[in-house]
Structure 1
Amino acid sequence: MKARILFFTISLLLGVQALAQAPQLSEKSQISLLTCAAGDELYYAFGHSSFRVQDSVLGIDVVYNYGTFDFNRPNFYLNFVKGKLIYSLSRRSFDDFLFEYEMEKRWVKEQILDLTLEQRNQLLAFFENNYLPQNRDYLYDPLLNNCSSITGDILKDQFGDAIVFDGSYLNEQYTFRQLVRQFMNINSWSMFGIDLAFGSVVDRKATVQEHMFLPYYAMEQIRHTSLNGKPLLKRERSVLDYDEHIQQSFFPLSPLFWFCLLLGFTALITYFDHQHKTRSRWLDFTLFLLTGLVGTFLLVLWLATDHTSTPKNFNVLWAFPLNAIVAFVFIFQDKLPQWLPKYLWTALGLIGLMLLLWIIKVQIFSPVLIPLLLTLAIRYVYLLRYSKL
């Protein structure tokens, strides 16, 4: 018995290189799903999921964590923008894993799975094989392939049709955008940025299993999952019992406050422009340039990256990429060109089309955008009137 314990200890320190080296668990072993509370940082905002393997006979207590990433990896931020972000499976002792959540006072719940010894050994062999250097990295997707969605994928991969995910606990099947919004303040810069980057593809309803990309839903799903006709969940307990972190908000720092401020400023400047029959070049240049640059970035996310959540993004209808070029007309030309009224009518029409797509729910946009859309509309209409002077 001591030899087996020593073997597994060495494998933890040096890393196993072959599937055959995985130890055989004893009858005292158990495998569980750990769900960790949401934290204050954006990448902790939805919580976390990991697998725990313990065997008191062999002295094993380790966590297999599919949510490991490295900021120092070459081209980390570029790969994030391109949709080529690499996450890894890590393996560490349960005590080390728990220390971080203890320090941040985030609750941790454990769901012990009702598995036969054969099934437990099957899962351990799978984890060990995944942990090999050539297998541990995977292409991260925030909605379809993350530390939590992998939970359902692994169970399905290992046990096939014997695993049944019962979705009766859901009041309704939500869209991906609705699911994300449940965990974030809609009037926050983080949620505004997510809404801005997400295309219409995330406004489809997620399947029952796809809801598991959120750890809280994965935890609830385990309570409503069966294996070979029997409940998968054996028992559940709280490992760390802390209160839920509440997101603090301060309205003067929110996007809605600043967009309303911009709307008021633009309306005031436009009124003075109308009174003096002039135009504020720098205001128009700034509005057109910024919306054009935002639209160009969104178009790149749509057409030139591997993100699955950014295609078909109709935010480009108001953040029109050509605005970035037209902006320079307002700086370098005293008299507005003859083609500008047609362009402005087109820009207004695109905003109207965007609103129509919103009404018929082709894409759901951030309500924080409303004062920004009014800002653009006010300036477009004024420039149309000014071009006739």
Structure 2
Amino acid sequence: MRKTTPTNGTGRWRGNLLLAALLLLVQPVLAQHRFTRPAHLSEKARIAILTISPGAELYTAFGHTAIRITDPEYGLDELYNYGTFSFEQPGFYLKFCRGQLDYFLSAYPFTFGMSEYIEYRRNVIQQTLNLSPAMKQAVYAFLRNNYRPENRYYRYDFFFDNCATRIRDVFEQVLGDRLTWHFPSETPRTFRQHLDPYLKRYPWVHLGIDLGLGAKADRPATPRETMFLPDYVFRAFAGATVRFQEQERPLVARTDTLLWFGANPHGGAALPWPTILFWGLVILVGAGSWKEATSPNKSISRMRWADGGLFGVTGLIGVIIALLWFATEHKVTAPNYHLLWAWPTHLPAVVFLLRRGRPGWFRGYLMVYTAVAAVTLLGWPFWPQEFHPATLPLVLCLFIRA
């Protein structure tokens, strides 16, 4: 296996800029040329896996995987990308929220993809595969058939059916038992824990995703299931073997770095602002509650509005969690133990919190919630679902004010 490593400093930038210039020259020619894909590949054809690093935009936070097929005999150099979606789909955002969004396989010139990765400063690593001509033809035929309009669409699932798992599935289906994955021995991590390193740049998004994911995301992912992440597809292909001509061979013949902008081209982890701010809120709520207990009615009036905001936001969180659980097709949003503390009923309860006189039944409601919040806090380390660190001070605030 040959690995090309990037150069440092000016040399790296010159290489990237030169490639960008060449791509700009080639693109107009490609745009004017209607390319007809050959039915069969030649002996010179190559198939490779491209692993693209995370980008600056949230939807690129986990990286990307694509298949590259080149055949100099026919001037073929294309990327096959299972991670394509269209904002123009009717009801795009509603379908996305309900887990009903269809992604599709797209195919386009390699230069088009590379120009985008250069523009958005994304590293690209290529693994050229060690396949027999018959295997290459079988992979190519599979992709061509998958690219047919009636076959290219699929129901996207973030963990179990995405742009990375689809590429794993292509080679498993085409190669069958001739392909063997050799996964490294590691302590199993849950699906949620596998996401954590990629979300450190987005602390508020990290909190939101953790709130929406249910207990099923806290099941340890099998080595094969970890391939929902492009980085783990890269690792799996690097360690895999393939059998042909009565020999077991490494699946990857060569690894090359095509683009390199540094280990963290879009910055490192951000401060955990939700956790910091919510612990600050605990201090403010504690101080306000003490003043309310020892001061006249002015403090009570202020805290009443604070309670309305605190319980209103919590109720809204509960409504969203309940909808994700009961009104969507997402596989990992139920059951969700955040509903222990984020009661959807807190949203209409704001009306009674803002009143001067509260009905007797509402006092009972708050007493029951206080007991449940106490159980939630006491059982924090033992629940079958991992809670985001920022939710602990939030539940503590609710416990104090209930």
Structure 2 length-normalised TM:
0.85
Task: Name the CA distance, whole Å, in 1 between partners of 2:253 and 2:221.
Answer: 27
Measure how far apart 1:373 and its partner are: 1.5
Which whole-Å CA distance do the structure 1 matches of 2:285 and 2:54 have between them?
A: 39
Q: Are positions 1:205 and 2:227 aligned together?
A: no
Q: Given that residues 67 and 89 in structure 1 are in contact (C-alpha distance below 8 angstroms), is that contact kept between their aligned partners in structure 2?
A: yes
Q: Distance in 2 between matches of 1:31 and 1:23?
A: 15
Match of 1:144 among 157, 160, 164: 160
CA contact (8 A) 2:203 2:270 kept: no
* In 2, Cα distance between equivalents of 1:352 and 1:153: 46
In the alignment, structure 2 segments of 5+ residues that lack a partner are 1-29
Could you tell me how far apart the structure 2 residues matched to 1:69 and 1:244 are?
Answer: 28
**How far apart are residue 262 of structure 1 and its match?**
2.4
CA contact (8 A) 1:52 1:64 kept: yes
Q: Mapping of 1:27-66 within 5 angstroms? A: 27-66=43-82
Give 1:310 shift. Answer: 0.9
Q: Secondary structure at the match of 1:284?
A: helix
CA 142–54 in structure 1, closer or farther in 2 if over 3 Å, else same? same
State the Cα deviation string for residues 294-322 of structure 1 (Å, max 9, x = none). Answer: 10110110011001121111111111111
After TM superposition, give the deviation of residue 100 of structure 1 in Å: 0.8
Which TM-score applies when normalising by structure 1? 0.87
**Cα distance in structure 2, aligned partners of 1:373 and 1:187:** 22
* 2:360 aligned partner: 338
State the match for 1:307 in structure 2: 330
Seen in structure 2, the aligned counterparts of structure 1 residues 357 and 203 have a Cα distance that, compared at 3 Å, is farther
- Between the aligned partners of 2:68 and 2:201, the Cα distance in structure 1 is 34
Shift of 1:172: 1.8
Offset from partner CA, 1:201-233 (integer Å, 9 cap, x none): 000011111101111111011011122343211
For 1:328, what is the secondary structure of its paired residue? helix
User: What do residues 107-156 of structure 1 show as CA deviations (whole Å, max 9, x unaligned)?
Assistant: 10001111111111111111111111111111111111111111211122
- Residue 384 of structure 1 is matched in structure 2 by none
2:395 is aligned with 1:373: yes
Which consecutive unaligned segments of at least 5 residues does structure 1 have?
A: 1-8, 17-21, 381-389
- C-alpha spacing 1:61/1:366, structure 2 compared with 1 (3 Å): same
Q: Distance in 2 between matches of 1:357 and 1:36?
A: 41
Q: Does 2:285 align with 1:266?
A: yes
Q: CA deviation at 1:361?
A: 4.8
- 2:142 aligned residue: 126
* Match among 240, 248, 253 for residue 259 of structure 2: 240
How far has the Cα of 1:345 moved from its partner? 3.1
Tell me the amino acid that sits aligned with residue 316 of structure 2: L
1:254 corresponds to 2:273 = yes
Partner letter of residue 132 of structure 1? R
User: Who is 2:382 aligned against?
Assistant: 360
Please name the residue that 2:125 is paired with.
109
2:349 maps to 1:349: no
> Structure 1 residue 15: deviation in Å?
7.8
Out of 258-267 and 360-369, give the one that drifted further.
Answer: 258-267
Structure 2 partner of 1:326: 349
Q: Contact between 1:165 and 1:208, CA under 8 Å: does it hold in 2? A: no
Give distance in 2, aligned partners of 1:15 and 1:340: 71
Instruction: Say whether the 8 Å CA contact 2:56–2:120 is kept in structure 1.
Output: no
Structure 1 match to 2:18: none
Residue 172 of structure 1 aligns with which residue? 187
Partner residue in 2 for 1:230: 249
Offset at 1:170?
4.2
SS of equivalent residue, structure 1 residue 367? coil
Deviation at 1:72, TM superposition (A): 2.4
Per the alignment, do residues 55 and 250 of structure 1 end up closer, same or farther by CA in structure 2, a change over 3 Å counting?
closer
CA distance in 2, matches of 1:46, 1:357: 32
Identify which of 24, 43, 56 aligns with 2:40. 24
What's the Cα RMSD here?
A: 2.2
Counterpart residue identity of residue 258, structure 1: L
Could you say which residue in structure 1 is the equivalent of 2:211? 196
Supply the distance in 2 between the matched residues of 1:220 and 1:249 (Cα, whole angstroms): 23
1:314/1:363 contact within 8 Å kept: yes
**Partners of 1:230 and 1:342 in 2: CA distance:** 69
Distance 1:225 1:327 in 2: 57
Contact 1:28 1:55 in 2 (8 A): yes
Are 1:288 and 2:304 counterparts? no
1:100 has 2:123 as partner? no
Instruction: Provide the residue aligned with 1:19 in structure 2.
Output: none
Measured against aligned partners, the alpha-carbon deviations of 1:259-318 in whole angstroms (never above 9, x if no partner) come to: 233223322321221113653321222222211111011011001100112111111111
1:185–1:247 Cα contact (<8 Å) kept: no
Q: CA shift at 1:241, angstroms? A: 2.1
Give the distance between the partners of 1:190 and 1:43, measured in 2 at CA.
Answer: 11
Could you tell me how far apart the structure 2 residues matched to 1:288 and 1:113 are?
A: 56
Across the two proteins, how many residue pairs are aligned to each other?
363
Aligned partners of 2:242 and 2:250 also within 8 Å:
yes
